[in-house]
Structure 1
Amino acid sequence: MGCIGDSSKLACVALIVIILSFVCACVAIFTPFWQEQESNGVITYSGLLTTCQNSLSECFTIDNILSAYQGTDQYDDFLVNLSLQMFGFLLIIVSMVLLFLYCCCTFKAIGVIAAITSILAGCSIIAGLIVYGISFSSVVNSLMSWSFGLDVAAAALALTAGILCIINCCLP
């Protein structure tokens, strides 16, 4: 029949959910819309890897972002958040590969490992979001934007995929 056709429907749903988590995390990490801040008529859109002013044509890279935070209270928090987000993103990729393999061979150990990596990915992303939210909520005239929300969705989807894997592995 085929690789995916031989597996349970729940494992296929978990694979689709982790792919959606990957897409959400990808967009969230690589867009400059985690935070909006207005100061003296200049709107700054900040993300994890890029910061833009007034439009997407005036953007700065991670080097500029790190040098802007250096010496401030947010510098360490930014690095912790970035590390947790990237670790979670890497775990989502690992989980996606494992879930694809699990859908092909239905070996329960692969399903358990995929569940663990999915749950760890979601927890890592949530931890990063908490660090970011606590650290940057004190910035005056700052609003969390849609990339932040999309990363929340990525974490929730990764956790959902992990739970679906656990349920699937426990079924006879």
Structure 2
Amino acid sequence: MAAQIRLVEITDANREAVVALRVHPAQEQFVASVEASFRHAAEQPEAKPWFRAVYDGDVPVGFVMLSWNLVPGPELRGPYFLWRLLIGAGFQGRGYGTAILDEVVSLIRADGATELITSYVPGEGSPLPFYLRYGFVPTGEIDADGEPILVLDLTGR
């Protein structure tokens, strides 16, 4: 069964619940916290951060952050870059990651995107197998942080 999700703006009313989401401790090296994501977004407004809480019904289960239609530059990949995809530890393995990407792809395609770019921290337990299953392919590039770059072609989906 496919997960049913909603992408919800983060407000004072839900911020605390969203910030409380945590990945499994073994995954912390691969994905920054929601709180760190807010800090990164504030520190890099030129990256045009767009973020949403992910809800299943009335329960926050995850967080997603993209660079939304930015002008790519030496340090900025885009125009659409998946910056953060986090599923709370107790909600993993239920199809939320795929459902989030399906929703994000739908939104950015409606905005004119032809590809979605992301990167990942390599290592045992990294999200690479998930991204490959979804259809991302390695570009062969490595970013300034040492993270391999992946791209999802949206023209044929």
Give TM-score, length-normalised by structure 1: 0.28
What is the TM-score when the length of structure 2 is the normalising length?
A: 0.29
Whichever structure has more strand as a proportion of its residues is 2
Which of the pair has the greater relative contact order for Cα pairs under 8 Å at 6+ separation?
Answer: 1
